A and B are shown apart, each in its own frame.
Chain A
């Protein structure tokens, strides 16, 4: 049941927080106004004032924690050195590459596993998303209904979706094995066989990720003028040629950032590999689940901080190379 007490309490909590944020913003803006506008008469006073609230929040809740973790990554903090950790320089960073990150797996096999996971997922997300988007990018009946139903995996809370999927991979009661058995095939040990478990993880994540891609790509498809296709048809180009020469190149401005974001989200996806891997097979772990285990299950705080920065640095490197290669994001930074 819901009581008026709960209603009022949470309203007052939220309300007072909002007022706090407003008051804080007001003070910051007033200060900046005095300093930048009245005193310095700075050319970019307005953009800085617009940015200030967001910037202060990000400094407090992203940059400060990052610096805290950076400091931690140079210490030997663990359960045995919990209250008074010592500074040990780059030792943790060396360990990331030279010692097993989890139980037995070393860094590079784990990286390989994570890259494989990311590539498979992104390929299916883009492929499946594009396929559905192209099917939907036409005049047709029930289009609204299809779109609504197809978006559903995106709309439901991820953890609930993942737990539901995990149930489907159960050996005796899951849908997949029931269907396999009905087809006269041998049931698959989704939870214990390393390959099958990895496939189960991928299936779940592909299901989760396709709606985002298909919605994004549908937006991209709709922005391509039909005149291109009409001209191509007059030249006698077939469907595949049209796709290769018109659709795909013109989709690039949409595809590239979508792939980039999708890569970050998949690379760092925690819920799917963690919950589908119910038996904690080391073979199914990817880097972020390894990070979680190192930090929270084994309490290797210093080590896991260093590990986190290595993951972060790799994604950063990937982004630099990818954007250089495709040149699509240039506009974001430099225009």
Chain B
């Protein structure tokens, strides 16, 4: 019988030899020592107010999940920040992981379920709803001095009971009118002006577009709804109000805007983005995250202004503002919590906030940093700040997910005239209601 088994073992042995050869060269579980962070070029390593800094230098590893990707330099910025902190506090090391926004939410939920949540999140305020509903993060009121931040930023992550669930890193994440000064020297101030200037532009520049925006996402729709004085939720903040006269008026306006033939037939993010970069669109509507890239592409010709005032109502469109926040998992405590708190204070210090503004072209969350020269002296950032003042905080309740998903499929059919505005509003409301009832 032993003889019978010989070939089986020989198979395994051959496989073992073929692969054991692979296993050898690695001496031991060599931990990837990241190249010693160069403290000099790191953002301001001035020792932050180390009030609660861990008394004993206990070595901790902080897993930091961030929604910042590589494309706009966000991830590189987060990594540099972490490296700088480690340089000053060698006992604290970071594993910075980038996860796409939705992935970050899903993975954080699952990891929490298995009791293996990361120590710190750097993410958008939308996640507040799911995370607090599932009881996965802790309030930060007792841990930080939140008064030093811009009021609208902390307000975005407050629950109705007054607790604050995140520490703001940047403020904004809002849409604005971005234009190419070489094609359109001055931005229109009202929608009537937008239509006439747009028509003139298209007549003078055949084949180009006066305006383009992402027509496939509801995030680009809500500013206009605000311009018509509409809101997606009732006063209670959870009952959807999508079948309203304001909603219908917004749909009708956007349908007319499309019918004016100043925009591409159907535009998504990539089309709008390429159109501005290639000089095929005079104006687009995009968020503060894109400013860095456009600065590079258009240089001096880049202009930023508020989205034009809605002539019919006299109200400015109100883009959603949210910004980016640190969130701390529920179970975090002890030395790890102390290290996380200290790092967050470091990341939101004046010097680092100003540094972030320069690197990412985003508005800071720290009130003090708002008056820094880098903002007041920069027409683009001040344009962004001007738009921000018309913004409205994005709802963070879990019901918002249903509202997004209910509006999204209606957008293009209404813009293109396939669905009547009233029907689309009714559809969206019905879809949102069923979806919310399914959330249990």
Q: Which of B24, B398, B408 touches A279 (beta carbons < 8 Å)?
A: B408
B59 within 8 A of A: no
Per-residue B-contact encoding for A16-43, CB less than 8 Å = 1, 0 else: 1011001001100100010001000000
Per-residue A-contact encoding for B264-303, CB less than 8 Å = 1, 0 else: 1111100100000000000000000000000000000000
Residues of A in contact (CB 8 Å), total 52
A192 in contact with B416 (CB, 8 Å): yes
- Find residues 152-198 in chain A having any chain B CB closer than 8 Å to their own CB: 170-173, 187, 189, 191-193
A79 within 8 A of B: yes
B52 within 8 A of A: no
B136 within 8 A of A: yes
Given contacts A22-B15, A193-B418, contact A280 B1 (CB under 8 A): no
B430 within 8 A of A: yes
B134 in contact with A282 (CB, 8 Å): no
Report the minimal beta-carbon distance from B426 to chain A, rounded to whole angstroms.
12
CA distance A326 to B402 in the complex (A): 45
Given contacts A189-B266, A192-B418, contact A299 B109 (CB under 8 A): yes
Q: Which of A49, A82, A296 touches B106 (beta carbons < 8 Å)?
A: A296
A12 in contact with B30 (CB, 8 Å): yes
Q: Which of A8, A15, A193 touches B20 (beta carbons < 8 Å)?
A: A15
B74 within 8 A of A: no
B440 in contact with A11 (CB, 8 Å): no
B19 in contact with A191 (CB, 8 Å): no
Report the minimal beta-carbon distance from A22 to chain B, rounded to whole angstroms.
5
A191 in contact with B264 (CB, 8 Å): no
B19 in contact with A18 (CB, 8 Å): yes
A282 in contact with B12 (CB, 8 Å): no
Q: Which residues of A contact B374 (CB under 8 A)?
A: none
Given contacts A81-B440, A298-B438, contact A15 B413 (CB under 8 A): no
A300 in contact with B405 (CB, 8 Å): no
A230 within 8 A of B: no
Per-residue A-contact encoding for B1-29, CB less than 8 Å = 1, 0 else: 10011001000100110011011111001
Closest chain B residue, CB of each to CB of A300: B438
CA distance A299 to B399 in the complex (A): 12
CA distance A281 to B419 in the complex (A): 14
Q: Which of A12, A171, A281 touches B23 (beta carbons < 8 Å)?
A: A12
Closest chain A residue, CB of each to CB of B217: A279
Q: Which residues of A contact B23 (CB under 8 A)?
A: 11-12, 14-16, 18-19
CA distance A25 to B13 in the complex (A): 12
Q: Which residues of B contact A282 (CB under 8 A)?
A: 409, 431
Q: Which residues of B contact A25 (CB under 8 A)?
A: 12
B234 within 8 A of A: no
Report the minimal beta-carbon distance from A114 to chain B, rounded to whole angstroms.
19
Q: Which residues of B contact A103 (CB under 8 A)?
A: 402, 405-406, 431-432, 434-435
CA distance A16 to B412 in the complex (A): 53
B439 in contact with A300 (CB, 8 Å): yes
A9 in contact with B4 (CB, 8 Å): no
A15 in contact with B22 (CB, 8 Å): yes
A15 in contact with B266 (CB, 8 Å): no
Q: Which residues of A contact B408 (CB under 8 A)?
A: 279-280
What residues make up the interface of B, taking CB atoms closer than 8 Å to A? Answer: 1, 4-5, 8, 12, 15-16, 19-20, 22-26, 29-30, 32, 102, 106, 109, 113, 130, 133-136, 216, 264-268, 271, 398, 401-402, 405-406, 408-409, 411-413, 416, 418, 430-432, 434-435, 438-440
A-B contact pairs, 26 of them (CB 8 A): A9-B32, A12-B25, A19-B16, A19-B23, A22-B12, A33-B5, A79-B109, A79-B130, A82-B134, A83-B134, A83-B135, A103-B406, A104-B431, A171-B264, A171-B266, A191-B216, A192-B418, A193-B413, A278-B268, A279-B409, A279-B412, A296-B106, A297-B405, A298-B435, A298-B439, A303-B438
